[in-house]
Amino acid sequence: MSIPPQSGLLRVTLPVPLRREFDYLCPLPLPAPGCRVSVPFGNRTMTALVLSHPADSDIDATKLKTIGAVLDEEPILAEAELRLLAWATQYYLHAPGEVYFQALPTLLRKGEAAAYRSTAYWHLLDAEAGVSAQAVKQQQALTLLRQEPLTAGELEVRGISGAILQALAKKQLIEKREQLPNIVDWRTTGTEVADENKPRLTTEQALAVSLIQSAHGFSPFLLEGITGSGKTEVYLQIMEPILKSGKQVLVLVPEIGLTPQTISRFQQRFKLPISTLHSGMNERERLDAWLSCRDGGTAIVIGTRSALLTPFARLGMIIIDEEHDTSFKQQDGFRYHARDLALLRARQLDIPIVLGSATPSFESLHNAAAGKYQLLTLSQRPGTATVAEHLLLDSKHVQMNAGLSPQLLQLVEQELAKGNQVMLFLNRRGYAPALLCHDCGWLADCERCDAHYTWHRHSSRLHCHHCDHQRPLPPSCPSCNSRQLVGTGLGTEQVEQALSGLFPQYGIIRIDRDNTRRKGSFQQHLEGIRNGKYQILIGTQMLAKGHHFPDVTLVAMLDADGALFASDFRATERFAQLYIQVAGRAGRASKPGRVVLQTHQPEHALLQDLANQGYRHFAHSALQERQAAALPPFSFQALFRAQATQAEQVQTFLQQLVQQLLPSLPSSVLCLGPLSAQMERKAGQYRYQLLLQAGNRRELAAACRLAVALIDTLASARKVRWSLDIDPVELW
């Protein structure tokens, strides 16, 4: 084909769900790979990312379109990031555009300039200024601004509203000023990297630090430390020489809620610029942090899953805290696992990576046993802190009060009388998981899901936690007009109400998604717990992970029986991890702790194993069972999911796929299904799945590529939404 004079070819990727790249003509000189260009695509103009300069194209030159404009003079993604994303595209068999653009902040995807924008900071005008004693929030705002100028967002997180700031501005005590980020090369500031007041390490901590610091090049470590054993202190000490050498460190945490406390700990130790990257930031904050990381202005980046795909100027180490957490796996769109991609990134950059957890994933334990990771163990808590005592309470034949047995209530009363805090864990929000008519047995079922509505008594609403549909609480039964509507089952609201009546003299806080929606509210609740405002803590999984509450001496799981008989083969692993994480909130300081588990199955082997032998023993036994059943991590899986408004459309699509796929599959690749999801109908969509399993990744990848190619030939595929999940962590 003939390329027009003074032009060349660009191969680009676009943020569209198509498994292909696109060729465009471009006037010379050509922008480098990693630059963005605007291109005509259909009847739209879109932002594209340049991948390469091909010598020719499969498309005739007369049919190729010319780009609209070059958006970047220099690549916004370097060769290292492009190489990582190219590998991810091939491994996860996902549309390349959705993979590459996952690495870009939203504003860059929209074509905005990769440049910093000024930010509005509130400044104190008079350091000696004060307000009346009654204006508590205004006083608090002035105290914060005496330390440093802050943005409205930073002040809101600390409980200072916009109205408070406007009131102070009217009094001419503060003013808002626009300023660009002060991006400096922290390597040349002469600042001492770390605070020298470090705690004394235990023997196990010191050994772990020594081994990691002496490693060279790509070195994966699995740091298995019981809750409260000081994994974070190990992280802080192994980072110090990396930072002193002028390199950056990436710390991944599973959830936004863990980010502020992690930042606080790191800021106390390191006098260096620290950035955060997570979905709770606005678009401008995220872009500025992304640019600072890429330009080397940030020394430490603490972020959730997507922070892994951020470009770094000089990345020297990756740390993944709570590496077992399923939050590191993206469950929609580009379904990557941040832990697995982090290992690849560390290998490509030839740098050390540390995976930390009190309850390592079975995959990581298997890799450690196979010698792929070096296993480091922290089995003791520093100082006078001791491992909590475990107690199983039999719930059979016991008169319960909102899920609380008399024996548990007695233990709660004893700890409160000593001035301690107690934590009660229940992973079901709302008042009751179902609403029932006492006279005719009618149940409030969601019209769009195969599920019951959850009754939220506080808001007098029914809420489906699967599709998010809500409706008012009916005044009477729609079936028989009876007013005898009662909740069945247990939720956090119900536990809160019962404990408020039993212990009115104590502060009670409930922490779940319902009462932490307002920005900054979660941190305010945590602060109230730490300063002793609340003595009884009720929470879901949000409260179980990573938090340090030194006065909590009793932790109770109110209902564990559901996880013991789940259909997913990973259910027992997840329950064990959750149980150990919840238990780890008890007795973290000098006070001894106790962990109580209420169950109708106290003799169950899993519970006995966890309570008496601990997670490692349980994991060893469970891994032997997995090996005997040829289940992951001793095999590899890929899951095709499909959904449509009619069940027949999904069944037809997957059955046709199986009929065409099976004759070409080797006997070593298992094809299981199609099977309906455990909840077949969700949000009005009927959901089915097809599982492929093989003993090695290469055979599985070949089978998946064949299946994807076959899907492109099926007319039935156009009537459904389908997706492919490589290495799924949960089934539908």
CATH class of 389-428+490-624: alpha beta
For residue 31 the two structure tokens come to 């922008």
Work out the pLDDT band at 218, boundaries 50, 70, 90.
Answer: very high
Ranges 154-163, 343-352, 397-406, 591-600, most confident: 343-352
Q: Specify the CATH number of the domain 7-109.
A: 3.40.1440.60
Q: What's the chain's average pLDDT?
A: 89
Buried/exposed 614-648: b ≥16 CB within 10 Å, e otherwise: bbeebbeebbeebeeeebbbebbbbbbbbbbeebe
CATH class of 636-726: alpha beta
Domain 193-378 listed as CATH 3.40.50.300: yes
- Strand 454-456 versus strand 508-511 pairing type: unpaired
| Amino acid symbol at 266 | F
For residue 190, pLDDT beyond 70: no
Question: Does 636-726 match 193-378 at the fold level?
Answer: no
Q: In sequence order, which ranges of 253-375 are alpha helices (DSSP H)?
A: 259-269, 283-295, 338-349, 362-369
Q: Are 462 and 472 in contact (CB under 8 A)?
A: yes
Alpha carbon distances (Å) from 588 to 268, 409, 420, 511 = 20, 22, 12, 20
- Rounded to whole angstroms, the Cα distance separating 321 from 669 reads 34
- Rounded to whole angstroms, the Cα distance separating 647 from 574 reads 30
Residue 611 parent element (H or E) = helix 605-612
42 CB neighbour count, 10 Å cutoff: 7
Q: DSSP class of residue 417?
A: H
Tell me: the pLDDT tens digits for 678-700? 999 999 999 999 999 999 999 99
- 475 versus 542: which is more confidently predicted? 475
Number of helical H runs and strand E runs in the chain? 21, 29
- 2 versus 263: which is more confidently predicted? 263
Tell me: the pLDDT tens digits for 33-80? 999 999 999 999 999 999 999 988 888 888 899 999 999 999 999 999
HEC readout, 223-279: EEECCCCCHHHHHHHHHHHHHHCCCEEEEECCCHHHHHHHHHHHHHHECCCEEEECC
Tell me: the pLDDT tens digits for 695-714? 999 999 999 999 999 999 99
For residue 1, pLDDT beyond 60: no
Q: Are 617 and 610 in contact (CB under 8 A)?
A: no
Work out the pLDDT band at 625, boundaries 50, 70, 90.
Answer: very high
Q: Is the peptide bond before 17 cis (omega within 30 degrees of 0)?
A: no
Tell me: the pLDDT tens digits for 239-292? 999 999 999 999 999 887 665 667 778 888 888 888 888 877 888 889 989 999
**pLDDT attached to residue 589:** 61
**pLDDT attached to residue 60:** 87
Q: Are 195 and 165 in contact (CB under 8 A)?
A: no
Report the Cα 25 to chain-centroid distance in Å: 40
Residue 188 parent element (H or E) = none
Alpha carbon distances (Å) from 359 to 87, 429, 587 = 29, 25, 18
**pLDDT attached to residue 191:** 60
Alpha carbon distances (Å) from 693 to 103, 409, 570, 637, 707 = 30, 48, 15, 4, 13
Can you tell me the mean pLDDT for 199-227? 93
Tell me: the pLDDT tens digits for 408-458? 999 999 999 989 999 999 888 899 999 999 999 999 999 999 999 999 988
Tell me: the pLDDT tens digits for 8-34? 899 999 999 999 999 999 999 999 999
Tell me: the pLDDT tens digits for 486-528? 988 889 999 999 999 999 999 998 888 777 777 667 777 777 8
DSSP 109-160: HTT--SS---EEEEEES-TT----TT-HHHHHHHHHHHH--B-HHHHHHTT-
Q: How far apart are the first and last CA of the chain?
A: 48
Q: 3-class SS at 693?
A: strand
Tell me: the pLDDT tens digits for 631-668? 999 999 999 999 999 999 999 999 999 999 999 999 89
Nearest to 376 by CA among 226, 161, 566: 226
- 5 versus 29: which is more confidently predicted? 29
User: Could you state, in order of their start, the residue ranges of all structural domains in the chain?
Assistant: 7-109, 119-179, 193-378, 389-428+490-624, 636-726
